Structure 1
Amino acid sequence: MKKRNFCVLAAVMLLLTGCGNKTREQLESDRDAGITYMDQAQYEQAVTSFESAYALCDEKMPETKTDISLYEAACQMKLEDYESVKNTCTRILELGENAEAYYMRGVAFLKLGDTDAAKADFDGAAVMEPNDYEMFLNIYQQYEAINQSAVGDQYLQQVLNNESTGLEDDYQKGSIYYYLGDYEKAATALARPVEAKKEDAMRLMGQVYLAQGDTQSAWVVYQQYKETFGETAESYNGIALCDIADGDYDTALQDIQQGLSLDVSDSSKRDLLYNEIVVYEKKMDFATAKQKAEEFMQLYPDDEAGQKEYDFLITR
């Protein structure tokens, strides 16, 4: 599922039009508290806050109800409370068609064993958002998780057969081929956006080369990325990945520290810190790796890859 845009104050105020000042303030406070809990992976508390906010909505606020309910359903999904996801998304869809609600309810139906209802909802989401590559890949992953990749592949083929209308479509198709492990098709799809110096496509092309074991080509791409976009956390992270693949762990650590010294986004910091754990593990320094993993989980308690590393390291 795609991340929703959080806390754009002007949009929130517009959505809240229709309530009195005190009610509006409480509604906004409860909604914001829910988002804060959600960011901290405290999903039960988040659900409670979103339910409180929803209870303050009136019939003139369908957009606000939808907004809050989508957040609530996302938290229920994290809690694996699929019956509640189904009910919350049904509540959303009673207010009007919504692709995200169709998708999440489809996931809930699939988890609950109702494959026919799941497919009907996935089809509804696909009709509403026929060019949402990420959503189609998510649908495939849901079927893959229950060993029904053949059903999920129908959705992937549908979106892959769409005519590319620009560099973004090429990049999205490259992302899908990369996920599927078809690195040649991924490289072909990414060729145009990489040539045009599309930022995310260059990063992904580096990953494609790494997956093919071609660390030299990956290193060249990440160096070109750094020359084009300057010294960024992303460029140093990519170069560190090349060093890790080549077994040059000390240089990889230097690259990671260089990246962390920059003004980095939270997602880039997460990648760098995760790869730092990997490097220490590769160096057989399990004590430091475990310490780094503990610090990582304090920062990112909901990170599945980090949790796996931590679970492994505590057994060493």
Structure 2
Amino acid sequence: MKKRFLICFMAATFLLSGCGSLAGRHNIDSGFAYIESHDYDSAMESFTAAEEKGEDACLIHRGKGIVYVATGDYQAAADELMASLHADEGIVDDMDFDTNYYLAEAYYKLGEYNKAKEVYDAILGLRSKDGNAFYLRGVCELASGNHDGAYSDFTKAISLNAKDYSMIIMIYKSLNEYGYNDEAVNILQTAMDNGSAFMTNYEKGQISFYLGNNAEAQSYLEAARSERDQEKEPVILMLGQTGEKQGDYNYAISVYKTYLSENPASALIYNQLGMCQIKQGDYSAAIQSFQSGIDVGDQAYIKALRLNQITAYEYKGEFDTAKSLMDAYLQDYPSDEEAERENIFLSTR
């Protein structure tokens, strides 16, 4: 049964379900907890320990595959995710779909668009109203040069999820990236025209931002950040970007600093603040902002914050400090080829 499934079905929401019993998987559970906190080194250590203890092979391969996707080793990810599917002898469940979404992402990142499309074809063969699969298959179609196929998939995805404005914005970005700006704008404008009566202020602000209506975007986003039930960080990020878009970095910096004064544990906003300060030429302030973000300890942003801090030291002319920090960075992220090239540059200063 499962082998036939693999042949015809070659998936992201569930980290643990299915794939064997719940007993005897302490290290696996730890590994997935580390994934949730973006601590991928510890996650991999846990999955290695799980192998040594003879825990569930399906979940171990799945966990390793997710780690490899997150850290950019896409061939290893594809190998591990395929191994997970082969090791799963249970019935087809949500976790199988989820694993295959990761597999398709790995293929896409490898540039193997046809393999990725085959995954989405199979998903849609079993879940014909999976709007996410239509959207992602459309992205693959665009990447492989099939505009008409992509547009058809995007249209279907929107028809299934007409109020999923995050997805609609991603479709806009994909079309815009490949030069189909008129179509991209039309999709956003149609969403605004059809949905403005029931959109949130944040959703209206997002779409106005990408439509280039900056004043409207600021108005909606300012309203959204005062709403009690609205998640504030994404609102603040986009509100600040309305200022950045116009070159008004003082406004953006004010927005970010005001938020951080009340929410000092936001590594993302510290990073954005530091980038604005770099653009203003205030490299010392940027260095401090990046350090404050690093001190938050959010593993999802540590890598970017460290690289940006190195860049700020470089702009400031403190090349010895930049080189020292880069050496430490490459010890932690030895496969970062772009950083390695930058390190070679610093070595010549």
Q: Which residue of 1 aligns with 2:126?
A: 95
Q: Which residue of 1 aligns with 2:173?
A: 141
1:85 CA drift (Å) = 0.7
- Please give the per-residue CA displacement for 1:118-170, whole angstroms capped at 9, x wherever unaligned: 2221122112222222322222222223222222223222333322646xx33
The whole-number CA distance in structure 1 between the counterparts of 2:203 and 2:80 is 35
1:224 CA drift (Å) = 2.1
Partner SS for 1:261:
helix
Q: Which residue of 2 aligns with 1:255?
A: 289
Which structure's relative contact order is higher, taking Cα pairs within 8 Å and 6+ residues apart? Answer: 2
Partner SS for 2:163:
coil
Aligned pairs, number:
303
- Shift in CA distance, 182/44, structure 1 to aligned 2, threshold 3 Å: same
Partner SS for 2:225:
helix
- Please give the per-residue CA displacement for 1:166-186, whole angstroms capped at 9, x wherever unaligned: 6xx332443344455543232
Identify unmatched segments of 5+ residues in structure 2: 1-10, 26-54
- Please give the per-residue CA displacement for 1:175-233, whole angstroms capped at 9, x wherever unaligned: 34445554323212212112337232123222322332333333332232123324543
1:47 CA drift (Å) = 0.9
Correspondences of 1:178-217 after superposition (within 5 Å): 178-179=209-210, 181-196=212-227, 198-217=232-251
The whole-number CA distance in structure 1 between the counterparts of 2:211 and 2:334 is 28
Q: Is 1:64 equivalent to 2:95 in the alignment?
A: yes
Contact 1:62–1:95 (CA<8 Å) still a contact in 2?
Answer: no
The whole-number CA distance in structure 2 between the counterparts of 1:125 and 1:301 is 39
1:77 CA drift (Å) = 0.8
Q: Which residue of 2 aligns with 1:4?
A: 12
The whole-number CA distance in structure 1 between the counterparts of 2:214 and 2:326 is 31
- Shift in CA distance, 268/132, structure 1 to aligned 2, threshold 3 Å: same
- Please give the per-residue CA displacement for 1:82-110, whole angstroms capped at 9, x wherever unaligned: 01011111111111122222122112222
The whole-number CA distance in structure 2 between the counterparts of 1:289 and 1:276 is 8
The whole-number CA distance in structure 2 between the counterparts of 1:37 and 1:75 is 9
Q: Which residue of 1 aligns with 2:305?
A: 272
- Shift in CA distance, 246/126, structure 1 to aligned 2, threshold 3 Å: same
Q: Which residue of 1 aligns with 2:202?
A: 171
Identify unmatched segments of 5+ residues in structure 1: none
1:81 CA drift (Å) = 0.5
The whole-number CA distance in structure 2 between the counterparts of 1:238 and 1:300 is 22
Contact 1:40–1:301 (CA<8 Å) still a contact in 2?
Answer: no
Name the TM-score, length of structure 2 as normaliser: 0.73
For 1:259, the aligned partner's letter is G
Contact 1:57–1:64 (CA<8 Å) still a contact in 2?
Answer: no
The whole-number CA distance in structure 1 between the counterparts of 2:177 and 2:327 is 28
The whole-number CA distance in structure 1 between the counterparts of 2:181 and 2:342 is 29
- Shift in CA distance, 293/208, structure 1 to aligned 2, threshold 3 Å: farther
The whole-number CA distance in structure 1 between the counterparts of 2:206 and 2:333 is 24
1:79 CA drift (Å) = 0.6
- Shift in CA distance, 95/140, structure 1 to aligned 2, threshold 3 Å: same
Name the TM-score, length of structure 1 as normaliser: 0.79
Q: Is 1:37 equivalent to 2:45 in the alignment?
A: no
1:5 CA drift (Å) = 4.0
The whole-number CA distance in structure 2 between the counterparts of 1:81 and 1:232 is 36
For 1:223, the aligned partner's letter is K
The whole-number CA distance in structure 2 between the counterparts of 1:77 and 1:143 is 17
1:298 CA drift (Å) = 6.6
The whole-number CA distance in structure 1 between the counterparts of 2:334 and 2:114 is 24
Select between 88-97 and 56-65 the one with higher mean Cα deviation: 56-65
